[in-house]
Amino acid sequence: MRPIDLDTALREVVGGRTAAALDKQIGVVTVGELLHHYPRRYAERGELTDLGRLVVGEHVTVQATVEKATTIRMRSRRGAITEVVVSDGHHRVGLTFFNQQWRAGELRPGRSGLFAGKVTEFRGARKLNNPEYLLFADDAADGHHLDSIDGGGDSSDSGEAAADEFAATLIAVYPATAKLASWSIARAIRLVLDQLPPISEPLPEAIRARHELVGLDDALRGIHRPADHAQRAAARRRLAWDEALGVQLTLAQRRAAAAVNPAASRPHRPGGLADAFDARLPFALTAGQQEVGSEIAADLERTRPMQRLLQGEVGSGKTVVALRAMLQVIDSGAQAALLAPTEVLAAQHARSIEALLGDLALAGRFGAAESATRVALLTGSLPATARREALLDAAGGAAGIVVGTHALIQKTVDFADLGLVVVDEQHRFGVEQRDALRAKAAVPPHLLVMTATPIPRTVAMTVFGDLDVSTLAELPRGRSPISTAVVPTGERPAWVTRAWERVREEAAAGRQAYVVCPRIGDGLDEEGLATIEGPAGKEDEQDGYGAVLVDVDDPADAAADEMAPAAAVLTTAADLAAGPLAGLRVEVLHGQQPADTKDDVMRRFSAGEIDVLVATTVVEVGVDVANATVMVIKDAERYGVSQLHQLRGRVGRGAAPGLCLLMTGAPTGSPARERLDAVAATTDGFALATLDLEQRREGDVLGTSQSGRRSSLKLLSLRRDDDLIAEARAVALHLVEADPLLTGHPLLAAQVARAVDEERSQFLDKA
Ligand code: ADP
Ligand code: MG
């Protein structure tokens, strides 16, 4: 028989029946796939599981000791029930077998073993349903014998004795299913490991030595059958490192591929628009803006296309940084495109850029400055004439800056010479859209992606790993503090009254307020919003790292669904105008309004002609009205942490302090309430982003868990492994720089190819 390797089909090694079960139950077919099905945890031999913590409905594998076993004859019909009680010394769990009296002989009091099954509750007592068990040898002291493997259900695992899955003190416990016990997986893995010759080492020896990584062979054996905790930890570290390296190599190769086609150099031109703009800026740039500005200026001068992510708190002044980059590009004779996620935001960007530029944006019009350019706005719902004009300005080059929504990506849009693409609030755009826009340039344009959602370092390195990252850490001077309070609508109705009074007080002082609601109103839902507002899906789901972070399993969301329908913009506005806010100028803004209505509302709100704007999350990103001081969020529990933080960032942008009120019906102590309390407790965006990350599993972050398929990130933790990811990133960059296709490391290249399965590249594309 030829020696087996990682690609060998399991049926050749463990037998057809087991192989079929492994395929059906956990979806593994080859030796390599099985070996990458890692233990969920390790039971210490002799250390009993705390049975008090079992959760009804879960399928568990526990270590316990038999307390008693009794067989009862049934009078009503022929047969007997064997009732067994197992215990951890404090709590008991029952096992029931029908017509298997011999079990009582086997499950003698005092014997210990592993018991698996679904936890149920019957008359207040915990039970394991359809239990399977595996008893340790009676003379457990030497810990070397396995007495029997048995199953209450599937008997394909009958107890052939010689198995030594549990010889060591650490017992691997696998993510199992009702039909496939953890120890059946352990047995298959033992069979495989016993026959598998040493696995060739894909990592260069020098790297292994420098980063103190055990060999792959040791790691794969050590993760499944560790002799002790040290061996398990070393194995885990190596395998997690491999996962990080796989991701980083893929990203490094992407970057290398993107750099193959040189971009045009767009150097700074002294005495140009950029200098004129700097000279007239009404404020001094922060140190961070200057620093990031020179990084970008240097990037633009190179012929390697810039690929930079600019992150900074809401209000940290990213737009000014981007505008200075655009002007440098215009000075070199090219154009810049600014992609915004919504029409409201695109229009606002165009307006505020024109305002910042003043006569520098009046090219072709009266009063234009010398070397002036023009700003064109291009959105889907533009009237035909305005649209034609914008298209001409873009194609002819008259517009140095073209601002738009994803309408910019359409085929009909041409640029004379597109030198820079700026994507604002990146999380609503996919890589495909970025690429489609970049494809409109004769040579690859430079790319600047801006996000106001702070991104934890590990996510930046992993999800956005093909981008260089700049961070604006400080806010411009003169920003006012924002205080946040949770308003429990059920528990403290008086606070609700007080909240609306606060809004009235601010309005009386000449300031303005937002009231955000999850829904628009009757018959208008978020789905409708989504098609109008953006390509990435329901607005409410666009949280944190955007499309990649949609968490459909979020229990908070499920709970929200069961509650009364969420507050709606239309009814809330009417109620407020007729009730607590009577007499104030209350208007609505949502995604289903025609573009010119939205535009008009935003314009009048900016001009102070509206006191209270009742809106959906269309105000979430970028909306910048310094005179707005109160943000009331109704049904706040329906939003994610990052989204709340974004919404809150809409106030406190001027001289007066901001106030954010999170209204919620979520009861004290509920997870949703705790999340809101956390948001109220800090305005540190990075702390909140980390909190957000902690509440999600890795698969959610990477968008893989919903697919139900295996993720290639099994051990790597974006929470804990940042050092490891940083190491792997440095190594990957180094390897790919020297050898982009990894031809000198065929095993490594193959390993990457294996890791980059379809879903992986899907996830990378989503980033
Ligand atoms: P971001 O896009 O990062 O949320 P913006 O670029 O929209 O922030 O800036 C928010 C506001 O702060 C704008 O009104 C902008 O003109 C102003 N601003 C930007 N930089 C500075 C600065 N260095 N000093 C004072 N105000 C600034
Ligand atoms: Mg902005």
Ligand 1 atom 19, closest CA: 317
Atom of ligand 1 nearest to the CA of 312: 3
Q: What is the mean pLDDT of residues 593-618?
A: 91
Task: Specify the pLDDT at position 750.
Answer: 81
Torsion sign across C-alpha atoms 523, 525, 527, 528 = positive
Average pLDDT of the chain?
Answer: 80
Q: How far, in Å, from the CA of 589 to the mean position of ligand 1?
A: 23
* Phi–psi pair at 337, nearest 5 degrees: -115, 140
Give Cβ neighbours of residue 628 (< 8 Å, ≥ 6 apart).
Answer: 511, 512, 513, 514, 605, 613, 650, 651, 653, 654
Select the highest-mean-pLDDT range: 434-443, 522-531, 607-616: 607-616
Point out the ligand nearest to the CA of residue 316. Answer: 1
Among residues 471, 456, 479, which one has the least CA distance to residue 287? 471
Q: What angle do CA 218, 219, 223 make, to 5 degrees?
A: 120
Cβ burial of 751 (10 Å; 0-12, 13-18, 19+) is: buried
* Atom 9, ligand 1: residue with shortest CA distance: 317
The DSSP letter of residue 721 is: -
- For residues 146-157, average pLDDT: 38
pLDDT of residue 554: 31
Torsion of CA 592, 594, 597, 598, to 10 degrees: 50
**Centroid of ligand 1 to alpha carbon of 281 (angstroms):** 11
CA of 313 to the centre of ligand 2 (A): 9
Ligand 1 atom closest to the CA of 284, numbered from 1: 23
Q: Report the C-alpha gap between 717 and 246 in whole angstroms.
A: 14
pLDDT, tens digit, for every residue of 577-598?
Answer: 999 999 999 999 998 888 889 8
List, in sequence order, the alpha helices (H) in 70-118: 102-106
Report whether 448 contacts 421 (CB < 8 A).
yes
CA dihedral 194, 198, 201, 202 (to 10 degrees): -60
The mean pLDDT value for 88-94 works out to 91
- Compare 555 and 584 and report the one with higher pLDDT: 584
Residue 709 has pLDDT above 50, yes or no: no
Q: What is the rounded distance in angstroms from the CA atom of residue 322 to the CA atom of residue 497?
A: 42
- List the one residue out of 39, 26, 21, 28 whose CA is nearest residue 6: 28
| Ligand closest in space to the Cα of 650 | 1
Q: What is the mean pLDDT of residues 387-394?
A: 92
pTM, two decimal places:
0.62
When pLDDT is averaged across residues 99-117 and rounded to a whole number, the result is 87
Judge whether residue 532 has pLDDT over 80.
no
Give per-residue pLDDT as tens, 202-239.
999 999 999 999 999 999 999 999 988 899 999 999 99
* DSSP line for 438-475: HTTSSSPPEEEEEESS---HHHHHHTTTTSEEEEE-SP
Q: What is the pLDDT of residue 498?
A: 96
The Å distance, Cα 691 to ligand 2 centre, comes to: 23
Task: Identify the three-state secondary structure at position 482.
Answer: strand
Q: Which amino acid is at 497?
A: T
pLDDT of 189 > 90? The answer is: yes
User: Which of 664, 609, 612, 462 lies closest to 545, judged by CA?
Assistant: 462
Place of tokens 């949703």: 672
Q: Can you say whether the dihedral through the CA atoms of 3, 6, 7, 12 is positive or negative?
A: positive
Residue 538: its pLDDT value, please?
A: 27
Closest listed ligand to the CA of 473: 1
Which residues have C-beta within 8 Å of that of residue 266, sequence separation ≥ 6?
300, 301, 328, 329, 331, 332, 334, 419, 420, 446
pLDDT in tens, 648-663: 988 887 888 999 999 9
**624 CA distance to ligand 1 centroid (A)?**
9
Classify residue 245 by burial, with Cβ atoms within 10 Å: 0-12, 13-18, 19+. Answer: buried
* Ligand 1, pocket residues at CB < 6 Å: 283, 285-286, 289, 312, 314-320, 452, 476, 624
Q: Residue of the nearest CA to atom 4 in ligand 1?
A: 315
Q: Is 113 helix (H, G, I), strand (E, B) or coil?
A: strand
Identify which of 160-164, 216-220, 375-379, 449-453 has the greatest average pLDDT.
Answer: 216-220
**Residue 87 backbone dihedrals phi, psi, to 5 degrees:** -145, 155
> What are the CA-CA distances from residue 744 to residues 202, 410, 737, 738, 747 (Å)?
11, 42, 12, 10, 9
The pLDDT, as a whole number, for residue 176 is 73
Which ligand is closest in space to the CA of residue 624? 1
Counting ligands in written order, the one closest to the CA of 293 is 1
Q: For residues 734, 740, 746 and 751, what is the CA-based torsion angle, rounded to 10 degrees?
A: 70
Whole-angstrom distance, CA of residue 125 vs CA of residue 94: 8
What span, in angstroms and rounded, lies between the C-alpha atoms of 245 and 242? Answer: 5
Average confidence (pLDDT) over 82-91: 91
Sign of CA dihedral 429, 432, 437, 441: positive
Is the Cβ–Cβ distance between 442 and 419 less than 8 Å? no
Which ligand 1 atom lies nearest to the CA of residue 314? 4
* The residue count for the chain: 767
Cα(551) to ligand 2 centroid in Å equals 25
Q: Which residue puts its alpha carbon closest to atom 1 of ligand 1?
A: 315
Q: Kindly report the backbone phi and psi dihedral angles of residue 614, in degrees, each rounded to the nearest multiple of 5, phi listed first.
A: -95, 120
Q: What is the pLDDT of residue 167?
A: 52
Which of 277, 281, 283 for a ligand 1 pocket mutation test, highest count of atoms within 8 Å of Cβ? 283
Ion ligand 2 neighbours (CB, 5 A) are 319, 622
For 479-492, write each residue's pLDDT tens digit.
678 899 999 998 89
Rounded Cα distance, 719 and 459, in Å: 9
Exposure string for 637-675, b = 16+ CB within 10 A, e = fewer: bbbbbbbbbbbbbbbbbbebebbbbbbbbbeeeeebbeb
φ, ψ for residue 135 (rounded to 5)? -95, 140
Instruction: Say whether pLDDT at 241 is over 90.
Output: yes
Ligand 1 centroid, distance to 76 Cα (angstroms)? 81
C-alpha to C-alpha distance for 767 and 763, rounded to whole angstroms: 6
Q: Do residues 558 and 671 touch, judged by C-beta distance below 8 A?
A: no
Q: Residue 312: pLDDT above 90?
A: no
For residue 131, give both structure tokens: 């239990």
d(CA 48, CA 62): 7
Q: Whose CA is nearest to atom 25 of ligand 1?
A: 476
